[in-house]
Structure 1
Amino acid sequence: MKTITQTWIQTKITLTQAPSLAVPNQHGLTNISPATIKWMTYATTRLTRHIGNLEINTITPNHIADWQQHEMSRPITPNTANSYLRAIKVMFTRLQRNSTIGTNPAQPIDYWPEPTPTPKSISPAHYHTILATTTNPRNRAILAALWSTGCRLGGLISMRIDKIQTTHTDAGQPHHALYITEKGKNGKQKPRWVYSKGMEAIIIQTWLNTRPASRTPALFTIGSKKPRPLTKTAVSHLFHTIRQNNPNLIHANPHAFRHAFAIRNLDTGRDIALVSQWLGHHSPEYTAKIYAIRSEEELRRAYFSQL
């Protein structure tokens, strides 16, 4: 009886093939939008023009760093160069997760300093500084909700205790789903779910456990004797106090927390279509316009170019 021996031959994968191979996740499922694929492919084309169509396993951090230096020698802004790098980081992160590559050559490369960040956001370090100096349970929960959900101020005000769904992990950690209503496209009120987990969910749970009894269903209230729903003025006062106590945080406001939510999720390789839905945007293209490719001209060229 003959024994058939099967020999596996590792196929060489070049850089131009990488975007399509980054589409399936580690489970073999396609969970990425056409807009994200266009974004990754456009940035990959720019990278290929500079370093050549190399095998992806031969690409090193030095290749990526040299390419970034080249991009910044051109008449583009740091925001634009960072958007290209962010797309490459997303692509290699996905390739690493689905075991196409072993290491991510873009991971060690830092983004260019952006003189006046647009949109203005709060860094994780500044967020933790603010949280560490905030002792009031309600105020801590407000900050945690803004940070973990990415909701607008109107969405925060609309949160209700009877519209929260809480589950727990095997370790007993809470996960919250909060139903909110925000102003959407054309000024129409748009209901949706937002989510909180980790330390932020614990902080929200602490507030739920200590929240004064009240007839109002609002999650966040003002006053202890006769609690009433939280107002936008009260939140503005909270952030005014934060800015007074932290002079270097002149941009601290609810919308800066929203921008931080979007940026850190995109930086960790989240699909732009998914982030767009979490933010309540009407389309991934709108999200990309703000957070990925900052120039409208470049956004259009990347989306409609024949690649």
Structure 2
Amino acid sequence: MEQNESREDEVAKFLDYLANVRMSSANTVLSYGKDLHLLSSFAKGLGLEVIDMTEHDARQFVRYLIYTKEYSEATVNRVLSATRTFFRHAVKIDLIRTNPFGLISLKKALSHLPSVLTVGEVGQLLSLEAVGFSSARNLLLFAFLYDTGCRISEALSIREGNIDYKKGRIPIVGKGNKVRFVFFSGITRDRLSYYLSLKHDLQDRKQILDSRISSLLFCSDAGKQLPMSTVGSIFKSYKRKLGWQKDFTPHVLRHSYATHMLDNGADIRLVQELLGHSSISTTQIYAHVTQKRLARVYASCHPHGRKENE
């Protein structure tokens, strides 16, 4: 127990080192603290302590800063600078052997196209059978994220009373407190009906009486708010179950939603609105995905394209 607590305090120890050994200014310590708190929160969402992050986790974090938080290039560089400094110090004091951010660059991250599921893989995922509360919730979460394109933080904040079943839509309060509507299909509506009957029965048995908790759409097996760390474990579990080698996270379903919409002819401005992106440049990453896919289709299907590749 003492060892776990020690690992959890490494960021606090580093900030103390900055203030009292390196004699950094109060503003510098405050800035590092803000950036490293963001890193800590992300790591906890993966079910990790910061100090246990790998290079793969580091790359996920950079994509999170760019595509989920939608930070500017300057802000991402600042966060990465603080993060690298923290891990360099951890290596120096023999807390870890290698810096997981040592080979991470923003330029490479920006050129990395987001991982997406194929339509067939989405079908494989959503065709799984729901048996009992946990699997019903998990499969609803997958269908909901793919149907709506929501960020996972947005999905976990939805309350039952927000759902407009008649119009098949839900108002979402996104970044900057901007409200937009997301839409769900009849398939998700049916899953919602089945899941909610199980959820209400569970919360009755667990005597969850606080309406601030019971009204949340997605809940844990204990009937309480579904933690981000549990979401990470759910996705890892289903990735193993399906035997997938590619990334499978809540944001991959958001990527897949956007990519499949554009593949089927949706206007990029409409997709921008549905995703809640403040800038069209963020949405354009998905257009790049579809353009690469179209190029592959041309190369493999068009007579001239085939000849050039033979």
TM-score w.r.t. length of structure 2: 0.49
* Greater gyration radius: 1
Bigger proportion of residues as strand? 1
Which of the two has greater helix per residue?
Answer: 2
TM-score w.r.t. structure 1 length? Answer: 0.50
